[in-house]
Amino acid sequence: MRELKVVIADDHPVVVLGLREMIQRDEYFSLVGEALSSSQLVEQLQLHQPELLITDFNMPGDETYGDGLQLIEYIIEHFPGVKILVLTVMSNHLIISRLLELGVAGVIAKSHIREEIGKALSALANDRDYTAPAAPAISVVTNPKVIDERFSTLSPREVEVLRLFVAGNSVGDIARQLNRSVKTVSTQKVAAMQKLEVLNDHALLTYCIKADPFE
């Protein structure tokens, strides 16, 4: 079996290091490129034409390529020969379903990357897609009064950003829709997370879905 060329993309050095070590130990894969942003990622794909891409879902984007679903859709359209394994901190079933509909080879929760990446690489080396086990739901505050109090502290712009985020839009998508800069939207999202006392995107999505504050 010939080696499959691999490009990895993530803006977290620790994740990149772990992926690099895993791939370099696997005789079926050859690491040919790494990227820390969507622009770098597209450059690496153009340069190396790999068979496999392992990428974070939320990459630092730009106006050309964006991140999230926009970036994945661009890659599928312009690099149809590459298999895509998506890493994500989110468990939003709408987003995961959309990724699979687009044709990605698999989706892995970052919280399970150590346990699942080896299984995914094995499946892909044998020309099979990879189906990861469902991630357990993260518990959220269930007291309606506490939830209402927390959401009442959000500004209208923060609520608007959260509504679009929970609907499956990336920060880049939201910035374009609201005609704001990516930095502004990211700041508003982080501020909302701090007010709601959630630590990551997965918890934020779970919290908002359970609370259903946008009805």
Reported as a single tens digit per residue, the pLDDT across 177-186 is 899 999 899 8
Clarify whether residues 12 and 73 are in a common domain: yes
Query: For all residues of the chain together, what is the average pLDDT?
Result: 83
pLDDT at 59: 79
- The values of phi and psi at residue 92, to 5°, are -65, 115
Clarify whether residues 66 and 166 are in a common domain: no
Share of the chain above pLDDT 70, in %: 85
On the question of pLDDT at 134 being above 60, the answer is no
Give 147-156 contacts, CB < 8 A, sequence gap 24+.
147/211, 147/213, 150/195, 150/196, 150/197, 151/196, 151/211, 151/213, 153/195, 154/192, 154/195, 154/196, 155/188, 155/191
pLDDT at 92: 60
pLDDT band of 61, cuts 50, 70, 90: low
Clarify whether residues 45 and 73 are in a common domain: yes
Residue 134 is assigned to a structural domain of this protein: no
CATH number of the structural domain spanning residue 161: 1.10.10.10
pLDDT at 48: 96
Clarify whether residues 192 and 114 are in a common domain: no
Residue 164 is assigned to a structural domain of this protein: yes
Instruction: Among 58, 90, 125, identify where a domain stops.
Output: 125
Tell me what the mean pLDDT of segment 21-33 comes to.
91
Clarify whether residues 108 and 12 are in a common domain: yes
Q: Report the number of distinct structural domains present in the chain.
A: 2
On the question of pLDDT at 197 being above 80, the answer is no
Q: What is the SS3 assignment for 78?
A: helix
Clarify whether residues 98 and 152 are in a common domain: no
The domain of 172 spans 144-211
pLDDT at 139: 42
- How large is the greatest C-alpha to C-alpha distance in the chain, in angstroms? 60
pLDDT band of 138, cuts 50, 70, 90: very low
Clarify whether residues 117 and 174 are in a common domain: no
pLDDT at 47: 97
pLDDT band of 140, cuts 50, 70, 90: very low
First to last CA, the chain: 54
Share of the chain above pLDDT 90, in %: 31
pLDDT band of 213, cuts 50, 70, 90: low
